[in-house]
């Protein structure tokens, strides 16, 4: 093992994950350059990388979707998935994780990013995905490497296992010592490192660091422990076997290091992946994929391109998938594969059928969605993993600028939702608004940019309308009379209504208390319809709720009365009555649950109070050491942009869910402002 040059080991699929801005896209570029997939290593700052090539990513200078790139290393196909680090685009990462062999978690020794690192490691730990930490930007490191590890360790539930230590010259890192191979390397810019003799100070620090690496490994290997205690040097193969085994079993998280911008440390990383990451057989086993003739694949991401139609990036877990194969998800037929391509970011190249382990693009799978498990057998293979997107935390109401684009907008949104299930759409029948929920400001902004850019639809965006209601505080008896004499046939309806406030959440009741037929039976439903009509728009401008209406009296005319006349009478009764009943505004209140690291709880508390929140309690978050759950009742308007403040108080990792709880009276200045705004809008 180690750097022994053995033959091909089969295709791999590796995700590059990690906090925002840690250098994932740069590392992908370095890997592609080192393996010869590209001629020159581009940079994120110059906008010349294979990753982040979409218009939106370049524009915002950040990854806003996963980039897929396949390259070849020592005869094997490797597909790397450069995942966005921003929490707002986390679903793109999460959807790829179940089907990968291993993850490279790119990180920096930066205390502001430890919480984000913890979130990402948790996902991997929970899914039992082997992971390497790649400590990047060591050219800028201001800490000793062991100190960096101490800083990062709380983010991982298993020991971080240092595999390399840096070599310094004049306080600048010039290379590394590989603790398993006991070899020193000097970095060369954009070229493989050079092996140098291991002696002097480097040899001493190597010994210490190697010993602690072996000690950690020995926690799960008694024989190794005995050898260490007896001061017997363990055979190198045994060390490599242990390293691979403990990585695969999730017992340790090995740490490699480098400088992505200069391609330093990249070859060592690739070799570790080659020798230690599980192969497709192991990954298929982890996912309980049966090894028979049936082809099985997982959709890592579907893309709807502007011109090339639909492209589903999928990893084949079993069998072989080529042109013309019909695939089905557990719920429906996904379509027939038309075109298999090898991907390198935005460019693709037609190729033959894909074998187990390869990750490729499939054309024309009309009904495939991100996350789907597809299979070719008669009985669809059960889903190998179900990644539930986080519920939306921020919403916008959108509409097409031009009426003619309405239908196009609906279709385009359906496509966006297929690509990215962490976007959801709700049509509000009351306001006719199309409300799109997403994971944050940037997520929603990119969604609207895609609508404009890819689908050519000009969009208008607004804050979604809050579902205010109104009710009354005083009862009244009111007559509603409709009488019209126009030429021959007239209209006549006359009703007396008893109107009373009801307790919150009672809705609406209508009672017929007519005696002696003063209003004939057959007209009474029309009276109720008129009442309901009028309640759609109360005196404050909002739907009226929580009132009881009883029809107590009235009169009719043998010729002129009609359903229509009684309906109008009912409407008049309500419209005239309500302004006299002390109408009051009701606002929706939601139960909000905020998850945050405990040290941010005080800040969260202050944010909630500042937003008219009523705090119900603090709890430790179950299964999350060092985290709290804060529960509060909060008005819907205040939840509107709550996520922005929660994230800024928690280094980006806080989140919340909410659920409608009740309607509450709102009075005074805030209520007046809402009513005035409503009047102005009408």
Ligand X SMILES: Nc1nc2c(ncn2[C@@H]2O[C@H](COP(=O)(O)OP(=O)(O)O)[C@@H](O)[C@H]2O)c(=O)[nH]1
Binding site for ligand X (CB under 6 A): 18, 20-26, 43-45, 63, 85, 106, 136-137, 139-140, 259-261
Partner in contact with 369, chosen from ligand X, Mg ion, none, beta carbon below 5 to 8 Å by kind? none
571 contacts 610 by C-beta, under 8 angstroms: no
| Spatial CA neighbour of 182 closest among 224, 210, 213 | 210
Q: 63 or 348: whose CB is closer to Mg ion?
A: 63
DSSP 458: -
Rounded to a whole number of angstroms, the minimum distance from the CB of residue 108 to ligand X is: 8
52 contacts 67 by C-beta, under 8 angstroms: yes
Partner in contact with 216, chosen from Mg ion, ligand X, none, beta carbon below 5 to 8 Å by kind? none
- C-alpha span between 314 and 300 (Å, rounded): 5
Binding mask 45-84 for Mg ion (x = CB under 5 A): ------------------x---------------------
Residue 214, token pair as written in the block = 């072996």
Rounded to a whole number of angstroms, the minimum distance from the CB of residue 252 to ligand X is: 23
Rounded to a whole number of angstroms, the minimum distance from the CB of residue 84 to Mg ion is: 6
Q: Which of residues 267-286 bind Mg ion (CB under 5 A)?
A: none
Partner in contact with 140, chosen from Mg ion, ligand X, none, beta carbon below 5 to 8 Å by kind? ligand X
611 contacts 633 by C-beta, under 8 angstroms: no
Partner in contact with 562, chosen from Mg ion, ligand X, none, beta carbon below 5 to 8 Å by kind? none
| Spatial CA neighbour of 616 closest among 664, 661, 671 | 661
Partner in contact with 261, chosen from ligand X, Mg ion, none, beta carbon below 5 to 8 Å by kind? ligand X
CA angle 379, 382, 385 (to 5 degrees): 160
Q: 44 or 549: whose CB is closer to ligand X?
A: 44
* Residue of this chain nearest to ligand X (CB atom): 23
Q: 102 or 674: whose CB is closer to ligand X?
A: 102
Q: 25 or 348: whose CB is closer to Mg ion?
A: 25
Contacts for 325 with CB less than 8 Å, ≥ 6 apart: 295, 336, 337, 376
CA 45 to chain centre: 26
- C-alpha span between 251 and 246 (Å, rounded): 5
Partner in contact with 199, chosen from Mg ion, ligand X, none, beta carbon below 5 to 8 Å by kind? none
Partner in contact with 98, chosen from ligand X, Mg ion, none, beta carbon below 5 to 8 Å by kind? none
Strand partners, 28: none
Q: 20 or 624: whose CB is closer to ligand X?
A: 20
Contacts for 64 with CB less than 8 Å, ≥ 6 apart: 52, 54, 56, 57, 84, 86, 89, 442, 446
Partner in contact with 136, chosen from ligand X, Mg ion, none, beta carbon below 5 to 8 Å by kind? ligand X
Partner in contact with 139, chosen from Mg ion, ligand X, none, beta carbon below 5 to 8 Å by kind? ligand X
Q: How many residues does the chain have?
A: 682
CA angle 611, 613, 619 (to 5 degrees): 125
Rounded to a whole number of angstroms, the minimum distance from the CB of residue 53 to ligand X is: 12
Partner in contact with 511, chosen from ligand X, Mg ion, none, beta carbon below 5 to 8 Å by kind? none
Rounded to a whole number of angstroms, the minimum distance from the CB of residue 52 to ligand X is: 7
* Residue 118, number of CB atoms within 10 A of its CB: 22
Residue 342, token pair as written in the block = 């090898």
Could you tell me whether strands 333-336 and 326-328 are parallel, antiparallel, or unpaired per DSSP bridges? antiparallel
Rounded to a whole number of angstroms, the minimum distance from the CB of residue 629 to ligand X is: 29
Rounded to a whole number of angstroms, the minimum distance from the CB of residue 137 to Mg ion is: 14
| Spatial CA neighbour of 254 closest among 425, 149, 133 | 133
Rounded to a whole number of angstroms, the minimum distance from the CB of residue 16 to ligand X is: 8
Rounded to a whole number of angstroms, the minimum distance from the CB of residue 391 to ligand X is: 25
299 contacts 68 by C-beta, under 8 angstroms: no
φ and ψ of 576, to 5 deg: -80, -30
* Residue 294, number of CB atoms within 10 A of its CB: 16
Rounded to a whole number of angstroms, the minimum distance from the CB of residue 45 to ligand X is: 5
The structure tokens 């209209």 sit at: 491
Q: Which of residues 6-35 bind Mg ion (CB under 5 A)?
A: 24-25
76 contacts 12 by C-beta, under 8 angstroms: yes
DSSP 45: T
Binding-site size, Mg ion (CB under 5 A): 3
Q: 62 or 671: whose CB is closer to Mg ion?
A: 62
Q: 140 or 285: whose CB is closer to ligand X?
A: 140
- C-alpha span between 497 and 514 (Å, rounded): 10
Q: Residue 647, CB half-sphere, CA atoms under 13 Å: how many?
A: 15
Partner in contact with 506, chosen from ligand X, Mg ion, none, beta carbon below 5 to 8 Å by kind? none
Rounded to a whole number of angstroms, the minimum distance from the CB of residue 316 to Mg ion is: 26
Q: 21 or 318: whose CB is closer to Mg ion?
A: 21
Rounded to a whole number of angstroms, the minimum distance from the CB of residue 69 to Mg ion is: 12
- C-alpha span between 162 and 635 (Å, rounded): 49
Q: 53 or 550: whose CB is closer to ligand X?
A: 53
Partner in contact with 375, chosen from ligand X, Mg ion, none, beta carbon below 5 to 8 Å by kind? none
Q: 26 or 562: whose CB is closer to ligand X?
A: 26
Q: 21 or 376: whose CB is closer to ligand X?
A: 21
Q: 49 or 601: whose CB is closer to ligand X?
A: 49
Binding site for Mg ion (CB under 5 A): 24-25, 63
């Amino acid at each position: 093992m180690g750097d022994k040059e053995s033959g091909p080991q089969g295709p791999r699929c590796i995700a590059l994950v990690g906090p925002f801005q840690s250098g994932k896209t740069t590392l992908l570029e370095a890997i592609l350059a080192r393996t010869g997939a590209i001629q020159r290593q581009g940079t994120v700052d110059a906008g010349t990388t294979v990753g982040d090539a979409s218009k939106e990513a370049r524009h915002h200078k950040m990854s806003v979707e996963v980039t897929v790139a396949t390259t070849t290393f020592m005869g094997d196909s490797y597909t790397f998935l450069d995942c966005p680090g921003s929490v707002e685009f986390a679903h793109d990462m999460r959807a790829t994780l179940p089907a990968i062999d291993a993850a490279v978690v790119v990180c920096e020794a930066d205390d502001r990013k430890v919480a984000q690192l913890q979130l990402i490691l948790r996902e991997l730990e929970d899914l039992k995905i082997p992971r390497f930490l790649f400590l990047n930007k060591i050219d800028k490191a201001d800490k000793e490497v062991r100190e960096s590890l101490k800083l990062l360790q709380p983010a991982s539930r298993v020991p971080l296992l240092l595999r390399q230590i840096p070599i310094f010259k004049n306080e600048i890192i010039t290379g590394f010592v590989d603790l398993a191979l006991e070899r020193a390397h000097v970095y060369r810019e954009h070229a493989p490192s050079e092996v140098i003799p291991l002696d002097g100070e480097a040899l001493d620090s190597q010994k210490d660091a190697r010993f602690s690496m072996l000690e950690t490994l020995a926690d799960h290997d008694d024989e190794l422990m005995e050898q260490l205690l007896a001061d017997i040097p363990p055979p190198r193969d045994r060390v490599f076997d242990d390293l691979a085994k403990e990585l695969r079993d999730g017992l340790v998280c090995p740490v490699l290091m480098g400088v992505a911008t200069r391609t330093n440390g990249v070859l060592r990383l690739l070799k570790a992946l080659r020798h230690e990451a599980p192969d497709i057989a192991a990954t298929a086993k982890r996912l309980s994929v049966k090894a028979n003739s049936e082809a099985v694949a997982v959709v890592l991401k579907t893309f709807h391109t502007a011109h090339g139609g639909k492209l589903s990036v999928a990893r084949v877990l079993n069998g072989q998938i080529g042109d013309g194969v019909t695939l089905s998800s557990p719920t429906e037929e996904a379509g027939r594969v038309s075109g298999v391509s090898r991907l390198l970011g935005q460019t693709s190249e037609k190729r033959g059928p894909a074998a187990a382990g390869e990750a490729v693009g499939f054309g024309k799978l009309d009904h495939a969605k991100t996350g789907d498990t597809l299979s070719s057998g008669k009985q669809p293979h059960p889903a190998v993993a179900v990644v539930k997107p986080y519920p939306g935390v921020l919403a916008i109401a959108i509409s097409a600028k031009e009426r003619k684009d309405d239908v196009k907008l609906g279709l385009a949104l359906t496509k966006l939702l297929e690509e990215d299930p962490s976007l959801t759409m709700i049509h509000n029948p009351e306001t006719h608004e199309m409300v799109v929920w997403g994971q944050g400001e940037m997520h929603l902004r990119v969604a609207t940019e895609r609508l404009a850019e890819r689908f050519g639809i000009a969009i208008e965006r607004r804050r979604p309308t809050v579902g205010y209601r109104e009710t009354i505080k005083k009862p009244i008896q009111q007559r509603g009379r409709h009488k019209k004499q126009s030429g021959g046939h007239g209209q006549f309806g006359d009703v007396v209504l008893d109107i009373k406030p009801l307790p919150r959440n009672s809705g609406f009741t209508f009672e017929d208390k007519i005696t002696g037929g003063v209003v004939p039976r057959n007209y009474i439903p029309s009276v109720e319809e008129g009442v309901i009509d009028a309640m759609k728009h109360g005196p404050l401008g909002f739907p009226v709720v929580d009132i009881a209406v009883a029809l107590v009296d009235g009169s009719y005319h043998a010729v002129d009365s009609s359903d229509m006349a009684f309906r109008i009478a009912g409407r008049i009764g309500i419209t005239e009555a309500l302004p006299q009943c002390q109408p009051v505004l009701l606002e929706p209140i939601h139960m909000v649950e905020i998850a945050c690291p405990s040290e941010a709880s005080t800040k969260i508390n202050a944010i909630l109070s500042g937003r008219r929140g009523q705090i119900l309690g603090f709890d430790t978050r179950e299964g999350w050491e060092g985290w709290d759950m804060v529960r509060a009742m909060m008005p819907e308007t205040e939840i509107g942009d709550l996520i922005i403040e929660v994230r800024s108080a928690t280094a980006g990792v806080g989140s919340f869910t909410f659920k409608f709880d009740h309607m509450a009276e709102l009075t005074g200045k805030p209520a007046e402002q809402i009513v005035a705004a409503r009047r102005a809008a009408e």
